[in-house]
Each structure stands twice: as structure tokens, then as C-alpha cells.
Amino acid sequence: MRIVVHGQQAFGKAVLERLLDGRDEIVAVCCPPDGVSGRMDPLKELALAKGLPVHQPTSWKNDQAAELMRSFAADLCVMVFVTLIVPRRVLEIPKLGTIQYHPSLLPLHRGPSSINWPIIRGESKTGLTIFWPDEEVDTGPILLQKEVEIGPDDTLGSVYFDKLFPLGVDAMLEAVDLVREEKAPRLDQDESRATYETWCEEADAKIDWSRPAQEIHCLIRGTDPQPGAWTTLGGHKLKVYGSKVQHEGGVPGEILDISEGGVLVAAGDGGIRIARVRPHNDRNKIPAQEFAKAQEILPGTYLE
């Protein structure tokens, strides 16, 4: 097949690497416009190294973008980590259509932060979906799905990098094979089960120490590494990572103990042991005990 790869970042690069080893022809690579940092996107970098044509439209909602897609004479477009909205008229230009990766079990957790929210909400499983996108957000027919467990100490980082990333690359290749073999299903999503969440942002990651310890633990895990759960100490923001639920309790927000295992903070029920923190004026995470010692923080201090 003649394939267009549309995406970005490490996941897009990994899918392109695998497709280049297969039986199909990559006729074009599309990725977002270059950012202000000057760093080249990994997908673009690989495409250029392999001598593939790279295109970076600022929008897919105009006639020029449609003509660009039409010029590829592609059989299939493979969308891997795409953030620009692509209208239906462009999605349907390739002879066999367009398939897309989404890191949740659609129709659950449609939207841009679909890995964060299941962890934050204490769910025990999530997964990925390869689907046929349409004009709405994450609503098209399902081609295939893969399920993964969310362990009790899994974080956003571990669920994505250890589970959904490698499994997603394999799933994209499996989906391409099914399309080539004319065996790819189109199963309608069950709208009665659909959920949608927007971006998980800084405001969503604020810790309320009056909440149950398990709920706080899930918030910390589901925002690690980004955007990072946070609290305040002395009026300054303090991000926290590496939490454990403990039975010891006290007044919510009170630091109960400081030891090599971290800093124990009282929650609404029980407590949270924090392993690492990132102060407001530092880019690096440091052991919580080390931070407490440097700041001369003692048990009885309150986080807000």
C-alpha cells in the first residue's frame, strides 16, 4: 500500500520505523509546524534521514491541505499522535481511508488527556484504540482495541511508556495489516458509554489534603510527570511525586514524619508518604527528606 504517516514525537517516529521495515511504501510524512525551541521533531528527523518527503501544514481545514493529501495518491493515512483537527473530507481522500491511534478504550476517555484521567479516577484498567476517525473528537468506528492493567502504583509515565507506547506501536502495525488484507472491522462506538475529558492542567493537579489518602495518591500518580500534583508551602508551589498511602493520620495537610522514606503528610483519612518534590524555583526533583532538611522543615508544619 501507499501510506501517509501523519503524527509527531517519539511515538510517531517508532511507528514510522516499523512501517519502513514492512511491505508498504511510505509516500509522505506529515507533522506539525516547527516549534519555537528549534528542536526538530523526532518523526520529522527520521523522515528526513530516510529521504522521505515531509510536509508541515499549519491547518488541514483548507483547500490547499486537501489538495496536498490528494497529491500523495495514498491508499491509507496512518495518524499517530495528531493534535491538529483534520476534517472528514481530508480523512476520506486516501483510497482506503484513515486510521488513528488513541490511548484509551473508546468510547471511554475521549479527549486529549485520556491517560491521566483513568489513573486519577482510580480505575484499574485502560487501553488503546485504533479507529477510523470522523469529524468529531475520537468518535469514529473502532478497528481494534488492546487492554492494559493500571497497577496500584502505576503513574502516567509508567502506563504510557511501559505499556501503551510499545503496545500501541504493535497495534498500529496490526491495524495496517488488517487494512491491507481487507479484514479491518468498523465497529460503531457505544455512545451510551461515552465519556469526554479535556486537558488535565495545572489547576486539576492541586492537592486537597482533606480528601481521602487513596484519592490523593491517584491524583499524584495520574499527573506524574505532567502536569505534576502540587501543594503550597509558605506560599510557594511545591510539586510532589512518588506517593504511598499509609494508615497514620492527623490534621489534613500536617507533616507527621520526616525520614529516609520521605515526608508523611496527613490526609482526610490516613496519610501520604511523599518520596520526591520539585520546589517552585527548581527544575529538578529531589528527595523529599533532603528538601525538608535544607528548608529546616519539622513535623507539625502544614502544607496547603
Residue ranges of domains in the chain? 2-193, 203-294
Note the CATH architecture for domain 203-294.
Answer: Roll (3.10)
Give tens-digit pLDDT for 115-133.
999 999 999 999 999 999 9
Q: What is the largest CA-CA distance in the chain?
A: 68
Give tens-digit pLDDT for 269-300.
999 999 999 998 888 999 999 999 999 999 99
pLDDT for the residue numbered 294: 92
| Side chain identity at residue 84, one-letter code | L
C-alpha cell at 227: 502536569
Question: Residue 35: pLDDT band by 50, 70, 90 thresholds?
Answer: confident
Residue 106 phi/psi, 5-degree rounding, is -55, 140
Q: What is the mean pLDDT of residues 54-62?
A: 95
CA 268, 274, 275: angle at the middle one, nearest 5?
A: 165
CA distance 69 to 51: 19
Q: Is the domain defined by 2-193 classed in CATH 3.40.50.170?
A: yes
- The answer to whether the CB of 146 falls within 8 A of the CB of 127 is yes
Q: What's the whole-model pTM score?
A: 0.93
pLDDT for the residue numbered 13: 97
Give tens-digit pLDDT for 148-170.
999 999 999 999 999 999 999 99
Q: In Å, what is the CA distance from 37 to each residue of 33, 34, 41, 300? A: 12, 8, 10, 43
